[in-house]
Amino acid sequence: MDLQLSGRVAIVTGASKGMGLAITRTLLEEGARVVAVSRRGTPELDALAGPALVHATEDLMDPEAPARVVRRAVEAFGGLDILVNNAGGPPPGVTLPRFGFLTPNDDDWRTMFEFNLFAVVRAVRAAIPAMLERGGGSIVNISSGNARHPGPMNFDYNAAKAGLNNLTKGLSEEFGPQGIRFNTVSPGPVRTAWWTEEGGAADVLAQATGADRQAVMDKVAPEMMNLTTGRLVEPQEVADAVVLLASPRSASTTGSEYAVDGGFLKQV
């Protein structure tokens, strides 16, 4: 199926690995031109180098970074059609999961909201004028199943993602008539660096459960989270949903939330 993305200009945040890397790669394969945003490069991102890719080295904890990225896209490719706010999860230097409401302090809450909500607000604010100049566009925000599945861990992260869901719905109402579509993709647990890196979620849960880290990813975590598929989600599975929503083939889809979560969410 032709997704009609050839020549479109996209920004992808958190693009150096995991879901962001898969989204970037898929957009390039579909003929889009991409500004890939990350704090540092990776060999995997470097392997995608070419005339259709610009790597913007930015830290989204800097309030001015999103506006610089949008200017970079306009300067490099002449405009902006797609924004994928993928950067999120643990802020730089933070390890999740955190157990219990009393664990995060005020600074933890502020940092979590800065990375998972306020950075998105700034990116959207910067992107809207550029998209309106092109007659519209598509913005996809990466949320989490935990936004609608509260539990006794990661209270600050879950609340930030719930705010992101609400924000996306409101934006779709205001800017839909002007041609900008807003949608959310809510992954479940995805086999990314958040889980796999040394000291990441797999190691935290291994310590809590007494299992080894590989068993956590292959068996313990899917069972603990009651995943219907019995396995963690793969980054490419999220990327496929994101790129379809970014495409003009989804022109009547706005204000929606797509769960790519292995059956994590059970609510009707």
Closest CA relative to residue 138, chosen from 34, 243, 21, 16:
243
Structure tokens of 244?
Answer: 């379809």
CA distance 242 to 166: 18
Residue 261: pLDDT band with limits 50, 70, 90: very high
Query: Do residues 121 and 247 both lie within one domain?
Result: yes
pLDDT tens per residue, range 135-189: 999 999 999 999 999 889 999 999 999 999 999 999 999 999 999 999 999 999 9
> Which residue segment(s) compose the domain that 151 sits in?
9-190+234-260
**Do 134 and 166 belong to one domain?**
yes
Q: Is 1 part of a structural domain of the chain?
A: no
**Per-residue pLDDT band at 44 (split at 50, 70, 90):** very high
Residue 44 lies in a domain: yes
Among 157, 194, 195, 264, the active-site one is 157
Q: Is the pLDDT of residue 268 over 90?
A: no
Helical axes 155-175 vs 106-113, angle rounded to 10°? 30
- Omega cis (within 30) before 97: yes
Mean pLDDT for the stretch of residues 106-135: 98
In this structure, the answer to whether residues 155 and 207 fall within a common structural domain is no
The residue whose two tokens read 């490719």 is 77
Residue with tokens 């479109």: 8
Same domain, 167 and 134: yes
Q: pLDDT by residue (tens digit) across 221-247?
A: 999 999 999 999 999 999 999 999 999
Residue 2 lies in a domain: no
Query: Same structural domain for residues 140 and 18?
Result: yes
- Asked whether residue 30 is domain-assigned, the answer is yes
> Do 226 and 158 share a structural domain?
no
Over range 89-118, report the average pLDDT.
95
pLDDT band at 198 (very low <50, low <70, confident <90, very high): confident
| Residue 65 is assigned to a structural domain of this protein | yes
DSSP the chain: ---S-TT-EEEEESTTSHHHHHHHHHHHHTT-EEEEEESS--HHHHTT-STTEEEEE--TTSTTHHHHHHHHHHHHHSS--EEEE---SSPTT--S--BSTTSS-HHHHHHHHIIIIIHHHHHHHHHHHHHHHTT-EEEEEE--GGGSS--SB-HHHHHHHHHHHHHHHHHHHHHGGGTEEEEEEEE-SBSSHHHHSTTSHHHHHHHHHS--HHHIIIIIHHHHTT-TTSSPBPHHHHHHHHHHHHSGGGTT--S-EEEESTT-----
Same domain for 102 and 210?
A: no
Q: Considering the domain boundaries, does residue 268 fall inside one?
A: no
**Mean of the per-residue pLDDT values of the chain:** 96
The answer to whether residue 161 sits within a structural domain is yes
3 within domain boundaries: no
User: Among this protein's residues, is 157 annotated catalytic?
Assistant: yes
pLDDT at 96: 86
Question: Are both 132 and 201 inside the same structural domain?
Answer: no
Q: How confident is the model at residue 106 (pLDDT cuts 50, 70, 90)?
A: very high
Residues 177 and 210 in one domain: no
Q: Are residues 219 and 126 in the same domain?
A: no
Query: 178 and 81 in one domain?
Result: yes
Sequence-distant (6+) residues with CB within 8 A of 133 are 79
In this structure, what CATH number is given to the domain that contains residue 176? 3.40.50.720
Q: Per-residue pLDDT averaged across 2-22, rounded? A: 98
Both 111 and 224 in one domain: the answer is no
Looking at residue 144, what is its pLDDT? 97
Residue 199 pLDDT level (bands cut at 50, 70, 90): confident
Tally the domains of the chain: 2
